[in-house]
Structure 1
Amino acid sequence: MDQFDLLVVGSGPAGRRGAIQAAKLGKKVLVVEQGKRVGGVSVHTGTIPSKTLRETALNLSGWRERGFYGRAYRVKQEISAEDLRRRLLITLDHEVEVLEHQFARNRVQHIRGKASFVDPQTMQIVKDDGEVVTVSAASILLAVGTKPFRPDYMPFDGKTVLDSDELLDIQDLPRSMVVIGAGVIGIEYATIFSALDTQVTLIDPKSTMLDFIDKEIIEDFTYQLRDRNMKLLLGQKAEKVERLPNGKVELTLDNGRRLTTDMVLFAAGRMGATDTLNLPAAGLEADARGRLNVNPETFATKVPHIFAAGDVVGFPSLASTSMEQGRIAARVAVGAIAKEPPKYFPYGIYAVPEISTCGLSEEEVKDRHIPYECGIARFRETSRGHIMGLDTGLLKMIFSLKTRRLLGVHIVGEGATELVHIGQAVLNLKGTVEYFVENTFNYPTLAEAYKIAGLDAWNRMGDIKSEI
């Protein structure tokens, strides 16, 4: 039986970062990945594919240039599913190559197979050829990620009724699509296909969407979606989904409304991929959604030497935060000091348009009874926005009236997921409104929106510097 300092199950963001961190500390590490190639869900069906699909769709459709040349403008008149897949495969090959090189450079061993617990410190790995390998480790990190939730009442066929994993393998772009689920994944894919001029309808039983995002940002986002004729049927539930003989799909909603479409994407939630781990043998159990409960500071489970990180532990389920969780878990697992990460991290939603946020929303500030003021900038107010042909896009900052410190930054529009890091740095360094008013930004850039929003807030707050 092979003995390791750290056994990592899963090679997604949390698993890879945890494994490499432990290896850098001189530990003997093994990564087990059940997929055909390393990278996990993030590389093969989640983060990287969806963002690559988005970028390809925007480039080939000419979406970014339509502000100048009109809505009929196209870079490529006939866009096929193969056009989208070609760039995706090139990107995935690169990601896998980089990861394999990182493992080799840091002397991280990895093996393909399905791992399951034999006892709390021993796992059995069944390889593709049927060979069974048994390994033990002083510590174990579970970074198995999630898989799409697939309820029995959905007639999945991989062609007209699909989950988000299957969507990447479609043969033809649909003329119409219904997306069930207005969470991050559903909204990202709904808006990407809308940018490809697919007629998209978004359905969700909740009357609101993305409730963790500042409401003013969501109002602006919703306006943009409706302006391009996306149908938002919020507060409505699909009670019946039926494939028709003519190849289309019919949905019956709880209010009696019927919809006919070419394709249905079911994106209402994901499940932790823990069902094959034989958790009871390790003294663990998952919740109803297959997720594991951990200490939020160390990511240890109730079994002290077993850790879990990434999407399998639930919110925020971001590749960026998963990496940090994996790093912290690995350091604790091998007995190294793990510093607490900065308080504020950015949240990015790669929809069309992008949304990114960091810090407190206006609703959270109100709930905490903090006296505050907001500053707003619209991208069309910047010279760079004019150059790019932008007529949408909004940056919002929230400041404390008492300390004048930045409390939150919220952006919807082109480049939001890049721009947010300026606000993130100021938040974590406890900067004030004066930073944005007195600082110089490159001109012309979209980052200039920070100065415009800062001046907007400063004008409302008054030029009175209080003690910080």
Structure 2
Amino acid sequence: MADAFDVVVIGSGPGGYVTAIRASQLGFKVAIVERAELGGICLNWGCIPTKALLKSGEVYEQLDHLKDFGLSVEKRGFDFGAVVERSRKVAAQMNSGVTFLMKKHKIEVVQGSAQLEKGSPAPTVVVGQRKLTAKHVILATGARARTIPAIGLEPDGERVWTYREALVPKAAPKSLVVIGSGAIGMEFASFYRALGADVTVVEMMPRILPVEDEEISKAAHKVFEKRGIKFRAPANVKKLTKTKTGVSLEIEAGGKAETLQADVAIVAVGIVGNVEDLGLEALGVRIEKTHVVTDAHGATGVPGLYAIGDVAGPPWLAHKASHEGVHCIEHIAGLKPTNLTAPIPGCTYTTPQVASVGLTEAQAKEQGLEPKVGRFPFRVNGKAVAAGEPDGLVKTIFDGRTGALIGAHMVGHEVTEMIQGFALAMTLEATEAEIQATVFPHPTMSEAMHEAALDAYGRVLHL
């Protein structure tokens, strides 16, 4: 006898568990299937534990600057095992929080790997000996790190790591090479450099953080170099070989061959969607470049089957997955769903942090817009200077014809906490006049946001 539900969600990451909660709020009988830990990769092996590591690194690195604040300590050091243990405890706490939420909303958690079989009105979900039938099935299976075994970019848990191995190593490496300068690669580069490791980042694109605005990318590059991180960009990875003492990476940069030696290599060259072993091909689900193809509401084309989050394509962000999931289930419920075209901020939690939303300056020009660009550096922001965090800037981009804010980009201390102000402004379709007329509190780093908006129209006050 099959277990009957209104909605079955496969995967309990930020996309899946949020979708399940919203479905329960809407009166659906819900089950969620998870083969590993509740909360998915984000809570257990991604977003949350990495931020715990990064915070430890940030605090430790600040000890180098105590004299600037008139402070001193007798002894400087770290217990790497304790740093990792704290990160795991934070992840466990978040995991228990999701467990509580599932119970609170009366969502049945089914542990195991799911497979889909033909059924009506939606595919049947088979988990071990159980068969779950539902009116609607939502895939939220996420993604995993991409590897390239042909040239040696395959994790072994000792000398070659993905993000997962980098979270729980037995000891801190003295040297490492990071392959890929996206958010994941740069966050681990930032953390291990904070603990004193010799770090080199290899990027195949002409510049690091290639999805960011070019000006912000270059500004971040300079600060990272000041912290001691080395870069090779653009560079092609030819081969990674394990040695007796670590790894040897053969690259080609600037037309010249070079070999990099390190204790460890971290592979951060993108992700692939978790689409295997689900039975998707047999159902006729369309898959392109390891991601499920959907319409604007998450529908796959197979009756009753939807996909959201990382498995449904970029941007690969937890908050995007949650937003898509809420939209999907509200659409299923016949409501006017949340706006799926709302701007999605991107954040990189390095030191300094990088945050952005909307179009880059180059993208605005490519779309035929007439961007008006404003900038304001933190070196003349009172709060930033007082906090000893003068590096970085805020950049705003407005449509020259309408005055609409179409992009905002930042690099600096805690800018990931500031970017939501611009995301809200864009969601509300704010113009330069409304942002300029907004009162920003003093002294705060957010004043740089106001000044950048003023600067776009030649009205900057403190520069």
Q: Under a length normalisation based on structure 1, what TM-score does the superposition of the two structures give?
A: 0.91
2:143 to 115, 125, 146: 146
Please state whether the residue corresponding to 2:457 is helix, strand or coil: helix
Distance across 2 between alignment mates of 1:436 and 1:285: 43
Match status 1:34 vs 2:32: no
Deviation at 1:65, TM superposition (A): 4.6
Residue 194 of structure 2 corresponds to 195
Deviation at 1:218, TM superposition (A): 0.7
Q: What per-residue deviation string (whole Å, max 9, x for no partner) do you get for residues 212-246 of structure 1?
A: 3211111101111222232211122222212222x
In 2 relative to 1, CA 308–89 (structure 1 residues): closer, same or farther, beyond 3 Å?
same
Residues 7-406 of structure 1 aligned to structure 2 (within 5 Å): 7-35=8-36, 37-62=37-62, 65=65, 68=68, 77-120=76-119, 121-126=123-128, 132-153=129-150, 154=152, 156-245=155-244, 247-254=245-252, 255-288=256-289, 290-295=290-295, 297-341=296-340, 343-406=342-405
Q: What per-residue deviation string (whole Å, max 9, x for no partner) do you get for residues 14-63 of structure 1?
A: 1011111111111111000000x311011111111212211121123326
In 2 relative to 1, CA 88–398 (structure 1 residues): closer, same or farther, beyond 3 Å?
same
Deviation at 1:165, TM superposition (A): 1.1
Please state whether the residue corresponding to 1:458 is helix, strand or coil: coil
Distance across 2 between alignment mates of 1:24 and 1:429: 26
Distance across 1 between alignment mates of 2:167 and 2:380: 38
Deviation at 1:404, TM superposition (A): 2.8
Distance across 1 between alignment mates of 2:208 and 2:280: 34
**Residue identity in the other structure for 1:211:** P
Whether contact under 8 Å (1:62, 1:73) holds in the other structure is no
Q: Matched residues, percent identical?
A: 27
Deviation at 1:461, TM superposition (A): 9.9
Whether contact under 8 Å (2:396, 2:409) holds in the other structure is yes
Residue 466 of structure 1 corresponds to none
Whether contact under 8 Å (2:326, 2:338) holds in the other structure is no
Deviation at 1:389, TM superposition (A): 0.7
Deviation at 1:75, TM superposition (A): 9.6
Deviation at 1:73, TM superposition (A): 8.2
Deviation at 1:180, TM superposition (A): 0.9
Q: Note the residue ranges of structure 1 that are not aligned, 5 or more in a row.
A: 127-131, 463-468
Whether contact under 8 Å (1:56, 1:87) holds in the other structure is no
**Residue identity in the other structure for 2:40:** G
Deviation at 1:99, TM superposition (A): 0.9
Distance across 1 between alignment mates of 2:228 and 2:261: 17
Distance across 2 between alignment mates of 1:19 and 1:100: 12
Deviation at 1:370, TM superposition (A): 2.5
Deviation at 1:67, TM superposition (A): 8.9
Please state whether the residue corresponding to 2:228 is helix, strand or coil: coil
Please state whether the residue corresponding to 1:140 is helix, strand or coil: strand
More deviation, 378-387/279-288: 279-288
Q: What per-residue deviation string (whole Å, max 9, x for no partner) do you get for residues 235-282 of structure 1?
A: 22222212222x221112244311111111111121111212121232
Please state whether the residue corresponding to 2:257 is helix, strand or coil: coil
How many residues matched? 452
More deviation, 183-192/386-395: 183-192
**Residue identity in the other structure for 1:133:** R
Whether contact under 8 Å (1:67, 1:389) holds in the other structure is no
**Residue identity in the other structure for 1:151:** I
Distance across 2 between alignment mates of 1:461 and 1:88: 42
Q: Under a length normalisation based on structure 2, what TM-score does the superposition of the two structures give?
A: 0.92
Relative contact order, higher structure (CA 8 A, sep 6+): 1
**Residue identity in the other structure for 1:394:** L
Residue 129 of structure 1 corresponds to none
Deviation at 1:366, TM superposition (A): 1.5
**Residue identity in the other structure for 1:22:** A
Distance across 2 between alignment mates of 1:50 and 1:125: 31
Distance across 1 between alignment mates of 2:65 and 2:435: 30
